[in-house]
Amino acid sequence: RVPPAIPPPISPLSKYKIALCQLSVTSDKERNIAHARKAIEEAAEKGAKLILLPEIWNSPYSNDSFPVYAEDIDAGGEESPSSLMLSEVARSKKVTIVGGSIPERSGGRLYNTCCVFGSDGELKAKHRKIHLFDIDIPGQITFKESETLTAGESPTIVDTDVGRLGIGICYDIRFQELAMLYAARGAHLLCYPGAFNMTTGPLHWELLQRARAADNQLFVATCAPARDVNGSYVAWGHSTVVGAFGEIIATTEHDEAIVIADIDYSQLDLRRANLPLGKQRRGDLYQLVDVQR
């Protein structure tokens, strides 16, 4: 790898509970925000120290809705009620939140953006979806995020109270190079808020999560919206936590749910000792190049 891989740092918490809040999403933005707050508070009361929300949880998932529901996250306050709520509840409950994603307005452009808040309520990182969801399967699904959204330009890795996290959004999970880059930067856990659809969800959602975890020998957590069969976009659901051996630790179906699971980073060392892939890679034949590093 160029530059060489960084081993994961010692995490302030090596064992903790993670929560995935699979939420129903409506056209009522205030309701969506209040509903997400309630779910986060419930997850915290159940002992979760890291809480994930779904992709586009404050808005319907549609190109028509993105401009209407978009927020100026950098301005904060009343200009971004969704991120304000996440900051407040992270601080009050002393939890780390990977805030799913919301439509973001910045510099005359729209992005699909995930905010990570620390247990002090501070914004630790902001990930703009790198790979836009442009898909065309005739007779099944056609969607082009690029009609309204702009792609992000930077991978996002962030140190938190619950370890080093690599952040992706939905379609980002399809690109193994991004996960490899995060592993090479010392991530313990990859978080992918996502809203896979009813066509690719049954085929690829679990497969991709398990592949990213097994290939890179780290944890993967995903969080999806609950399924709304009457919505213009129907999500697959099935929020999941995957272990470093590619095993399913916890998952759910398509209805609203709060999934609680235990994370134990000692498993990373165990699995990397069982299968020493890092030592077995043939750098003389192939390499991953981290351009921005």
- The pLDDT tens digits for 77-121 are 999 999 999 999 999 999 999 999 999 999 999 999 999 999 999
Task: Report the C-alpha gap between 197 and 42 in whole angstroms.
Answer: 27
Q: Which of 21, 115, 170, 223 is catalytic?
A: 170
- Chain segment 129-141, per-residue pLDDT in tens: 999 999 999 999 9
Using alpha carbons only, give the angle 240, 245, 186 rounded to the nearest 5 degrees.
90
Give dist(CA 75, CA 197) in Å, integer. 32
pLDDT, position 1: 85
All domains of the chain, ordered by start, with CATH? 16-279 (3.60.110.10)
Say which of 71, 124, 129, 223 is annotated catalytic: 129
* Cis bond upstream, residue 155 (ω within 30): no
> E strands within the chain?
15-22, 48-52, 96-98, 102-106, 109-117, 123-128, 134-137, 141-144, 156-160, 163-167, 189-193, 219-223, 240-242, 248-251, 257-264
170 is an active site residue: yes
Q: Which residues of the chain have pLDDT under 70?
A: none
Query: What pLDDT score was predicted for residue 224?
Result: 98
223 is catalytic: no
Q: Quote the pLDDT of residue 125.
A: 98
pTM: 0.97
Whole-number Å distance between alpha carbons of 264 and 219:
9
- Helices and strands counted in the chain (H then E): 7, 15
Closest CA to 235 of 264, 202, 265: 202
Which of 17, 21, 29, 55 is catalytic? The answer is 55
Q: What b/e string do you get for 116-125 counting C-beta neighbours within 10 Å, with b at 16 or more?
A: bbbbebebbb
Active site includes 55? yes
